[in-house]
Every structure is written in C-alpha cells, then in structure tokens.
C-alpha cells in the first residue's frame, strides 16, 4: 500500500522533529497492525478476539485531525468481521441448566464467550423453535418452545439476524410462530425464512454493516411442508429452486453480499448428502456469496466453491444433545469483509460444557 508522503510534511511547512516523531509513531502503528495479520494456507487469519480502537492507544487530543484518517485506514486493512453459528435451542435441558446453575439468568449459556460474540459486526444463527408463551404443542417429545425472555437475551448477545426456516418452527402452531416474529421484531432482531405470507417468507432481508456493506439474507428449509407460507397465510420458506433463484436475484439487485441459509441434510452425519451439495452449489452458481447450513447437529465440511463458500453444517451452538461429543460441538464461521467483498473465512470451533455453556476450543485457534 502506497503512503502519500505529502500528507505528512506539507509543502511550505517548517521541518519539526516532534511532528516527525509523532507521525512516524502513527505509521509504525499502522505497520504493526498490517503485518500482525498472519497468513495461513493463502488465507488471512483475521479471527481476532477483540476490536481495537486507536483512540485507546494514543490520546485523542494528541491525534486530532490525523485520528480519523488513520482510523479509517486501519479499518480498511482490518476489515469488518461477521459471524455465523448453527443450531440454537434454549428449551428443555438448557432451560433446566439456566434455572439450576445460572440462577435464572438467560445469559448463562453465553457468559463464557460473550465478549467474543460482541466483537462481530453482525451475528447470525438458526433458532430451533418458537420464542413464545402462546400456542399449543403440535409436535412430539421433540417439540420446543423457548422462554420469551430469550428474545432480549439473544439481542444482548449480539445476534442481529436469525433463521426461523426449520423443522421446529411450527412445534407450537402458527400462533406461537407469529408471536416469535413479533417478539424478535420488537427487540430489533431480523427474522428470515419466515413471514406472514409467501412473499414475506421468501423475501431477502438486508442489513447494513458499519462500513456501509449491505448484506442480504435468505433462509429456506428442506423440511416441514405443513407450515409452508402461502399467499394468505403465515409460515416458513421451503427449498424450491425457482423460489431460491428469484430470491437470490432480488438480493443481488440491492445488496453487496448474499447469504443463503439452508436447513437440510441428515442428522448426525459428518458429511453432506447429495441434495446438500447440489442445492448449495446451485445457490453459489446463482449468485450467492456464502451458504450456511444447519440441521445435522454435527459439524460438516466448510469448502470454497468457485468464488463462494459453503458451510454444510455448523453443528450445535447451544443444544442439549449431550449424548455424544460431536453433538456438543459446533463452530462459528467468521467472515472478513473488505471493500464490500468477503475476503476470507475461517471456522472457530466451539464446545458446550455439561451445563450447556458455550466455550471456544482453544486448539482450533
């Protein structure tokens, strides 16, 4: 990157050693930030744990006009970080643990990684079931309904957007489903893959990042045809190629980056099936930049396909499936965005403890 030297010592200004030392320190700071981003297998490993504010390094009064210039330059080098997680289910064993070990604090499952979660400009997950106190049980022993207080907790844990397009969305009926949409909307979380009618369910939802990048989200499920949204009834978006193509085209017309979320595949399988592979590649071929998968409840491969990325399954982020190590593990897919493009992705593995609290697996860093 070329530095414009005349901005440091303008023509006609008297040479001043103190000024030179000051600006040399600023340049050194930039150099340290730039060179501290290690390269690994051709990708930038930029999964930092915390954001750095240049104003905490130098006195803001000392920086004055130079601060904004170098801070913008630093952000361009660093990029904007967004995160994606898999399945989130806060009922059943998780709720029991919150009451017994967390003294009723709904933030208990997140408390060990809360600071890291706050470091993302945007955080996405798949919400496995309604957040509501309404409706009636339409499912089975595997029917979930989460405490309404969890809506605010998910917002406070930095979730910006949640997919509702999954096989548990209708566990407590349409009343609980629409109540979930209302509650998430009231706390400022965008729900995707669901709507009060078909158009709303398939419509891309666009969020703007701190650097101005516009990111569109699309979500669809392979399962639960019985709660598919209709022209005049609420429901979820079911995977159909024609609908997917239309949604991606709409997203591409208004956003810089398109994210497609699929609830698909076989449970507890470590590898994607043919349908997962085919529909994911179809999404990338149609213009999507990244595909995020969930439902298998275990981690599956993350690959680069052409100019896009596919995470076939991010496993369980929070889910009370303690019967195996694999179902207690998951991952946060971190994507770095520079100049309104995804420049790097990396998987940071997570694991739940016996109280269903999420932690990072340090060996994955």
Does residue 291 have a pLDDT over 60?
yes
Task: Render pLDDT for 29-78 as a digit per residue (tens, 0 to 9).
Answer: 555 444 444 433 333 333 333 333 323 333 334 334 444 444 455 555 57
Task: Render pLDDT for 318-350 as a digit per residue (tens, 0 to 9).
Answer: 999 999 999 999 999 999 999 999 999 999 999
Are the beta carbons of 320 and 356 closer than 8 angstroms? yes
Could you tell me where the DSSP H helices lie in 139-194? 149-156, 173-187
Average pLDDT over residues 89-99: 98
In the chain, what percentage of residues exceed pLDDT 70?
78
Task: Give the C-alpha separation, 39 to 350, whole Å.
Answer: 22
Which is the CATH superfamily of the domain at 80-364? Metallo-dependent phosphatases (3.60.21.10)
Residue 138: its pLDDT value, please?
A: 85
Average pLDDT over residues 86-109: 98
Domain boundaries, the chain: 5-77, 80-364
- Class of residue 152 by CB neighbours under 10 A (exposed 0-12, middle 13-18, buried 19+): middle
Handedness of CA 321, 331, 156, 176 (dihedral sign): negative
Residue 5: its pLDDT value, please?
A: 33
Nearest to 314 by CA among 356, 273, 264: 264
Does residue 10 have a pLDDT over 90?
no
């Amino acid at each position: 990157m070329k530095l414009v030297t005349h901005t440091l010592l303008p023509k006609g200004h008297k040479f001043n050693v103190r000024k030179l030392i000051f600006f040399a320190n600023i340049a050194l700071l930039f150099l340290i930030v730039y060179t501290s981003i290690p390269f690994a297998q051709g990708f930038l490993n930029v999964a930092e744990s915390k954001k750095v504010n240049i104003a905490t390094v130098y006195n803001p009064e000392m920086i004055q006009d130079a601060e904004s210039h170098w801070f913008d330059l630093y952000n361009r080098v660093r990029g904007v970080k967004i995160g994606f997680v898999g399945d989130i289910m806060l009922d059943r064993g998780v709720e029991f643990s919150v009451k017994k070990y967390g003294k009723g604090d709904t933030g208990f499952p997140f408390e060990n990684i809360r600071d890291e979660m706050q470091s993302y400009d945007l955080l996405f997950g798949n919400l496995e079931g309604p957040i509501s106190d309404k409706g009636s049980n339409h499912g089975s022993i595997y029917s979930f309904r989460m405490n309404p207080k969890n809506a605010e907790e998910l917002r406070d844990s930095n979730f910006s957007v949640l997919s509702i397009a999954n096989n548990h969305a209708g566990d407590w009926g349409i009343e609980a489903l629409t109540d979930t949409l209302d509650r998430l909307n009231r706390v400022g979380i965008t729900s995707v893959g669901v709507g009060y009618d078909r158009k709303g369910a398939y419509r891309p939802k666009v969020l703007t990042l701190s650097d101005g990048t516009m990111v569109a989200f699309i979500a669809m499920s392979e399962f639960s045809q019985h709660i598919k949204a209709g022209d005049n009834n609420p429901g979820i978006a079911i995977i159909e190629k024609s609908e997917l193509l239309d949604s991606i085209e709409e997203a591409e017309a208004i956003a810089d980056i398109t994210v497609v979320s699929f609830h698909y595949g076989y449970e507890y399988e470590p590898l994607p099936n043919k349908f997962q592979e085919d529909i994911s590649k179809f999404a990338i071929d149609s213009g999507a930049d990244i595909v995020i998968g969930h439902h298998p409840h275990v981690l599956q491969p993350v690959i680069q396909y052409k100019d896009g990325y596919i995470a076939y399954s991010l496993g369980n982020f929070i889910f009370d499936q303690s019967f195996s190590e694999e179902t207690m593990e998951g991952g946060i897919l971190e994507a770095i965005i520079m100049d309104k493009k995804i420049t790097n992705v990396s998987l940071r593995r997570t694991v739940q403890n016996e109280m269903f609290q999420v932690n990072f697996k340090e060996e994955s860093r």
